[in-house]
A = this chain, B = another copy of it.
């Protein structure tokens, strides 16, 4: 029989190879019994991990003989009926479209806990969830939803590389507790998500594709395209149209390199706009107990993503800039300038103002990039976890405004006196650096306005819970924490 022949290939000590193997060499006979229905990748990895953590595992398969070869030696592979009857806790690792094939087990599974690990194929916002459908199929069993966010991969490798959370929900607290305990013994961190009605949310979790990044990324792309076209018009089309000079070679690098810092600066300003809006709204309302409009709430929660998009553009700008002198076009221009200087018999071409301008704006730009890098590093989850609230707000607010000021100064120094030079207004369009300065300068002025003592005091009062409309004493804020959302809108 081929199944029998396949076995030695699949099991046995030699198989373990160099990888760190988790299996205990034999299952503990007194250990709790856990059932698994289904023989796919997930079932196999789950069985392996359960065995390794000291559980007795019974796998229910439609073709137990054939499937046995795929499971660790210590797991018992038997019929679905047999597995369902042996265990009190049964994992249902069957495609949801085949859940109905399990109905014959209904009497056997009555009163037992079924863990539904299934996932949907696409985000399902309307319900019902797979788990709820399973609960309808097995009304006498207790359904726990969970483990769907865990991959077979991390089950097999063990949760060593990082703390993996398992989101669980069920209408029975007792069943949930026992699954949570199992979770912990496998080395995962269970998170209680409440009643089974949360299962839809849990099933959708692994299906989202960067929901919080969508707007910031679209924003970056839109800004990039607009600024690119604008710069193309001014820097490439204008000389071509007016003087017939072809400088199309600038498209891949130079135009990109003028566009990137513009995007970076605008995106970075957009990080600080919602916090200012929130502060001014609270001042206007005279209370912190009004809800912000939805767009503002959404913006406040996406500031990190805006900041990281800005950081990416800033880094690319730095790399593009540093590649400028590498280019053949740079070399040709330099050589032609040298020839021209020899021809014109100029011994010293030194222009002190130009030299100073460039030294200054490069230096300030590097400092801005350095500060931005610190902000980016502290956005890493593991670093963010090691700083406390005061440290986090120091970095994101104080260092952040320093970085914004430096980036603005970098642009101002780059502009120098050229904003007042009519030759820069090709096609009557102002240079990009003039346009992009509007937003950051406004943000910095708004921030300065909040630092004016009387404004700052009033805002402070509002954030400690004072309200304009109420002066009765006993309605004073009863809030015991300074670690709250108020500080988030404070930044």
Cβ of A133 within 8 Å of any chain B Cβ, yes or no, is: no
Q: Can you sample 27 A-B contacts with CB below 8 Å?
A: A18-B298, A19-B298, A28-B173, A39-B479, A40-B480, A54-B194, A93-B481, A149-B389, A152-B484, A152-B485, A160-B165, A180-B184, A180-B185, A186-B192, A206-B389, A209-B394, A249-B352, A250-B359, A252-B362, A316-B366, A321-B323, A321-B326, A328-B354, A332-B355, A335-B349, A338-B341, A380-B383
Cβ of A31 within 8 Å of any chain B Cβ, yes or no, is: yes
Cβ of A329 within 8 Å of any chain B Cβ, yes or no, is: yes
Report the nearest B residue to A291, measured CB to CB. Answer: B10
Cβ of A442 within 8 Å of any chain B Cβ, yes or no, is: no
Cβ of A488 within 8 Å of any chain B Cβ, yes or no, is: yes
Cβ of A420 within 8 Å of any chain B Cβ, yes or no, is: no
Cβ of A113 within 8 Å of any chain B Cβ, yes or no, is: no
Cβ of A171 within 8 Å of any chain B Cβ, yes or no, is: yes
Residues of B within 8 A of A198 (CB): 22, 24, 52
Say whether, besides A381-B382, A485-B45, A351 and B332 are in contact (CB < 8 Å): yes
Cβ of A428 within 8 Å of any chain B Cβ, yes or no, is: no
Given contacts A54-B194, A93-B478, A382-B383, 20 further A-B contacts (CB under 8 A): A20-B211, A22-B201, A25-B195, A42-B479, A43-B479, A53-B193, A61-B478, A98-B478, A117-B480, A121-B482, A152-B481, A161-B386, A187-B190, A187-B191, A256-B363, A319-B322, A328-B358, A336-B348, A380-B383, A381-B386
What's the minimum C-beta distance from A389 to chain B, rounded to whole angstroms?
A: 5
Residues of B within 8 A of A316 (CB): 366, 370
Report the nearest B residue to A41, measured CB to CB. Answer: B484
What's the minimum C-beta distance from A109 to chain B, rounded to whole angstroms?
A: 15
**Selected contact of A187 from candidates B20, B165, B185, B380, CB within 8 Å:** B165
Q: Which of A326, A348, A389, A479 has the most CB of B within 10 A?
A: A479
What's the minimum C-beta distance from A32 to chain B, rounded to whole angstroms?
A: 9
Per-residue interface assignment for chain A, residues 303 to 323, with 1 indicating a CB less than 8 Å from any chain B CB and 0 otherwise: 000000000100010111111
By the criterion CB–CB under 8 Å, are B323 and A249 in contact? no
List which A171-213 residues lie within 8 A (CB) of chain B. 171, 173, 176, 180, 184-187, 189-195, 197-198, 201, 205-211
5 interchain residue pairs of minimum CB distance: A40-B479, A24-B194, A41-B484, A382-B382, A187-B191
Per-residue interface assignment for chain A, residues 145 to 167, with 1 indicating a CB less than 8 Å from any chain B CB and 0 otherwise: 00011111100101111111100
Report the nearest B residue to A477, measured CB to CB. Answer: B40
Give bound CA distance, A121 to B480, whole Å.
11
Say whether, besides A162-B384, A380-B382, A483-B119, A347 and B336 are in contact (CB < 8 Å): yes
Residues of B within 8 A of A359 (CB): 249-253, 327, 329
By the criterion CB–CB under 8 Å, are B52 and A194 in contact? yes
Give bound CA distance, A163 to B160, whole Å.
10
By the criterion CB–CB under 8 Å, are A173 and B30 in contact? yes
Give bound CA distance, A329 to B351, whole Å.
8
Interface size class of A (residues with CB under 8 A): 35 or more
By the criterion CB–CB under 8 Å, are B389 and A151 in contact? yes
Residues of B within 8 A of A63 (CB): 475
List which A1-59 residues lie within 8 A (CB) of chain B. 6, 9-10, 17-26, 28, 30-31, 37-43, 45, 51-54
Cβ of A284 within 8 Å of any chain B Cβ, yes or no, is: no
Cβ of A62 within 8 Å of any chain B Cβ, yes or no, is: yes
Give bound CA distance, A347 to B333, whole Å.
11
Cβ of A471 within 8 Å of any chain B Cβ, yes or no, is: no
Cβ of A140 within 8 Å of any chain B Cβ, yes or no, is: no
Cβ of A289 within 8 Å of any chain B Cβ, yes or no, is: yes
Residues of B within 8 A of A480 (CB): 38, 40, 42-43, 92-96, 116-119
Say whether, besides A117-B481, A326-B321, A356-B249, A192 and B197 are in contact (CB < 8 Å): no
Cβ of A324 within 8 Å of any chain B Cβ, yes or no, is: yes
Give bound CA distance, A118 to B324, whole Å.
55
Cβ of A409 within 8 Å of any chain B Cβ, yes or no, is: no
Give bound CA distance, A205 to B386, whole Å.
11
Residues of B within 8 A of A28 (CB): 171, 173, 194-195
Report the nearest B residue to A346, measured CB to CB. Answer: B339
Cβ of A237 within 8 Å of any chain B Cβ, yes or no, is: no
By the criterion CB–CB under 8 Å, are B351 and A328 in contact? yes
What's the minimum C-beta distance from A468 to chain B, rounded to whole angstroms?
A: 13
Give bound CA distance, A364 to B94, whole Å.
46
What's the minimum C-beta distance from A165 to chain B, rounded to whole angstroms?
A: 7
Say whether, besides A192-B54, A319-B369, A20 and B201 are in contact (CB < 8 Å): yes
